[in-house]
Structure 1
Amino acid sequence: MPTERSNLREPAIGGLAPSQLRLLTKVARMYHEHGMRQPQIAEQLHISQPRVSRLLKQATELGIVRTTVVTPSGVHAELEERIERRFGLRDVVVADPGQPAPGEQSVLQAIGAAGAVYLETTLTGGDRIGISSWSSTLLATVDAMRPRPTPVAERVVQVIGGVGNSTSQVYATRLADRLAILTGAEAVFLPAPGLASSPAAREVLMSDPHISDVLATYGGLSMLLAGLGSLEPSPLLVESGNAIADGEQEALRELGAVGDICLRFFDEKGQAVRSPLDDRVLGIDVETLRSIPRVVAIAGGSRKYTAIRAALRGGWVDVLVTDLGVARRLAAEPDDR
């Protein structure tokens, strides 16, 4: 039948005749489906190994071989990527508490576990890590981490004063000390309260060489590990004695503040809110904080949503570890940039 013979001679996919496509398909099946190595394929088909490599590449280019990534249950890669694009983040880790309406403790545990895995994966050596002192999510993260066989960080430095109520101060000390032990780093503590009683008291404290020497290390940090606070302080911060008073909260609210990172407050759009409180904080300043190459925020829960969104809008954060509920709300935010 002339018509059929004519069709057999016509070029097919990519301008290749069926006989050529047959070899491409055969090599692709041998490699991808039967698990044969390239030298085995070359020997069996009596062609060179470089040709096998070229044929495999060509099979991919022509769509004969297609790579499909199947997302496992509990992994939210597409959601993470949407948030990364929406807010210009380097990385997003979404933790799934695995419950339809998880409580704060379930969210805290899920975020802590996800934060621990992120740090174990990305700390590869030489980092100088700043860490805030009064954060339940950071405590959950460090408690979930496993020790590394070799040092993966050079130094762990408190970036806000860790002195407070004698009971809660144990948490601040444990946070920096435990992370240093787990990563094989040197722990550097800031022996001062996070919030001085007055600007004059802060100046006196900052003149102490033990304190000023620690503050001087902040410019060399390669990474900051922090929680994100809402305007209402967390129970841990209240217990520490470093929480702002009700009157100061109201003053900040009138200035538009919705959240903070290391007691540096910002408004709904993520713009820094300057107030008299800045002159009482013993810790990293805004300019130094924002110059750190990698700022990792570990925060979640509906109570923190407004603060998290504002921090992302203002570019305070490079990497976010949060829970599924917050992530879905962030992904649904309109792009108002």
Structure 2
Amino acid sequence: MELDREQDVLRAASMYYLQDLKMEVIARHLGTSRSTVSRLIKRARETGLVEITLRPASTRAPGLGRSVSAAFGVDAYVVPVPDSSSHIERLDQVSMTAAKLLTSWFDSDMVLGIAWGTTLASVSRYLVPKPTRGAAVVQLNGAANMRTSGVDYASDLISSFGTAFGAAVHHFSVPAFFDFSDTKAAMWRERSVRRVLDMQRRADIAVFSVGAVAGAVPSHVYSAGYLDDADVRVLHDEGVVGDVCTVFLRADGSWQDVPLNARATGPTPTELQRLPRRVCVVAGDNKVAPLLAALRAGVVTDLVVDEVTAGALLEAADPGPVRRTRARTATTGA
């Protein structure tokens, strides 16, 4: 019965999109109603059988993608957007592309690491369900903060990825930042914490964005009570421009001697570099400086970015040394 239904979906979609037949005509061919045909075509889009792509008449995206790949040694997926697009529109377009790529990359018996944040929350809304077997989704950084537990926010986000892929979910029930580095060291010896850390190290794909210290749209870690005034002053004094997985970076990509990083619970750039695929999803002018820092830190293998931000990134990059990561052969995108 299910096979017959899927065949109807395929036939309806083929007649509608390839033969340009009207729904009334398709309904007569299939011996059903127009409303049923409408539902079949909708299902074809929802399941990914049909993919609709808009190709603007004029876009710099392909050329920008090649330039970013050449400059930083990453696979760049530059999403075409009009220069007049709002931040939300750019984020939506980038999120849709990132969700599509993740669905194509993630499969059974794989581990997906997710760093919570506004961008990843947007990506989660565009995931197309893809059942897997033996797969797992693991939270990469703690979420509790000074004002609220933060756990519900991160838990819902991580769980949405698990639900989309039918994967087991591993939450990381620790603060985003410990008050004392000694406390972190002690917690890292606990078996329950070590179990999650081990799952993180096994990740085949890590997905994250970059947090920006400045800008009209503040990143979640800087706007939701994770840092006090003294912490913010330290970041300013240290020349920090943003973070990856709540590990703070300077403009040159350095991070090791930033004091707050000893209390952070996310994986360091060194730990991220051990994972095969590290996907950075970025949209927004205020993300250019932290994105450039992340690229210089060598934590990115695949970059999904909007056209406007990609152009600004190339303008901001100087000819200084960049730690290149092993480039992949792109199968999708620019």
Give yes or no for TM over 0.5. yes
Find out whether 1:178 has 2:160 as its counterpart: yes
CA displacement 1:88-130 (0-9 Å, x = unmatched): 10x21222343x3332222221221121111122224432111
Find out whether 1:189 has 2:171 as its counterpart: yes
**Equivalent of 1:157, from 134, 138, 142?**
138
CA displacement 1:41-73 (0-9 Å, x = unmatched): xxxxxxxxxxxxxxxxxxxxxxxxxxxxxx942
Could you tell me whether the CA contact under 8 Å between 2:247 and 2:268 is conserved in 1? yes
For structure 1, the residue ranges without an aligned partner over 5 or more in a row are 1-70
Change (3 A) 1:272 1:238: closer
Higher mean C-alpha displacement, 178-187 vs 71-80:
71-80
Could you tell me whether the CA contact under 8 Å between 2:137 and 2:161 is conserved in 1? yes
What amino acid maps onto 2:309 in structure 1? V
What is the alpha-carbon distance in structure 2 between the residues aligned to residue 139 and residue 77 of structure 1? Answer: 27
What amino acid maps onto 2:80 in structure 1? D
Aligned-residue Cα RMSD (Å) equals 2.5
Could you tell me whether the CA contact under 8 Å between 1:265 and 1:273 is conserved in 2? no
Higher mean C-alpha displacement, 223-232 vs 74-83:
74-83
* Structure 1 partner of 2:110: 127
* Structure 1 partner of 2:247: 264
Could you tell me whether the CA contact under 8 Å between 2:56 and 2:80 is conserved in 1? no
Find out whether 1:226 has 2:211 as its counterpart: no
Change (3 A) 1:137 1:203: same
Could you tell me whether the CA contact under 8 Å between 1:298 and 1:322 is conserved in 2? yes
What is the alpha-carbon distance in structure 1 between the residues aligned to residue 133 and residue 280 of structure 2? Answer: 19
What is the alpha-carbon distance in structure 1 between the residues aligned to residue 289 and residue 120 of structure 2? Answer: 19
**Equivalent of 2:300, from 317, 326, 331?**
317
CA displacement 1:303-334 (0-9 Å, x = unmatched): 11111112112322111111111111233445
Change (3 A) 1:290 1:324: same
**Cα drift, residue 168 of structure 1:** 4.7
The DSSP-based 3-state class of the residue aligned with 2:299 is coil
Higher relative contact order (CA 8 A, sep 6+): 2
**Cα drift, residue 288 of structure 1:** 1.5
What is the alpha-carbon distance in structure 1 between the residues aligned to residue 102 and residue 293 of structure 2? Answer: 24
* Structure 1 partner of 2:183: 201
Q: Which has the larger radius of gyration?
A: 1
What is the alpha-carbon distance in structure 2 between the residues aligned to residue 107 and residue 207 of structure 1? Answer: 42
What amino acid maps onto 1:78 in structure 2? G
The DSSP-based 3-state class of the residue aligned with 1:144 is coil
Identity %: 22
Q: Which has the higher helix share?
A: 1
**Cα drift, residue 187 of structure 1:** 0.6
For structure 2, the residue ranges without an aligned partner over 5 or more in a row are 1-53, 322-334
Could you tell me whether the CA contact under 8 Å between 2:213 and 2:219 is conserved in 1? no
* Structure 1 partner of 2:25: none
